[in-house]
Amino acid sequence: MRPPIAAAAAEERYAWEVLRAMKQIDEQRQVQAAAAAIGGRNPARSYNTPSGYAIGTILTARITIYGCVGPGGGFCNGMASGIQVFEGAAACSADLPFGTKIRISGDPTGRVYECLDRGHLASTWIDVFFNDTRDGIAWQSLLGGTVTAIEIVN
């Protein structure tokens, strides 16, 4: 049995993780609304190119995070695509071409991610950018692991 203080601390930590996820969902909705207002696309943040996979294809992928500040941070500049890095950007392995859009199974934000960055990643690997890696670590704990299914959207 957990001492009451430890249980309360765990509950508070979980509540903060949920609030962070809700904030990310709200930010994504704001970006989508802004994109819809300019014709449905935000060209500064999209390649919008076909992936080469059939829409709806399910793949198993390793999911990790990277970021600017926080433990393991230091990635604060532009991405390999030439676009400035932003919260929710995805660095993908070379088997997923730039512009590939995916959904990550179990993602609490419900985002659609687009491959706009590269890293030295093994096949079918998605590295999601968070400005603060602590937020990314909390997101990944809500995701439930580092290997999950992804769905090709384009």
Structural domain boundaries in the chain: 4-152
Rounded mean pLDDT, 54-75:
90
pLDDT of residue 63: 94
Residues whose CB is less than 8 angstroms from the CB of residue 141 and which lie 6 or more positions away in sequence, other chains included: 17
The domain defined by 4-152 carries CATH number 3.40.50.850: no
Give the pLDDT confidence of 92-143 residue by residue, as tens digits. 998 898 889 999 999 988 999 999 988 778 889 899 999 999 999 999 888 8
- Give the span between the Cα atoms of 137 and 140, in whole angstroms: 5
Q: Which range, 52-56, 79-83, 126-130, is most confident?
A: 126-130
Q: What is the mean pLDDT of the chain?
A: 79
Tell me if 87 sits within 8 A of 129, measured CB to CB. yes
What three-state secondary structure class fits 140?
Answer: helix
Give the pLDDT confidence of 65-78 residue by residue, as tens digits. 999 988 888 888 88
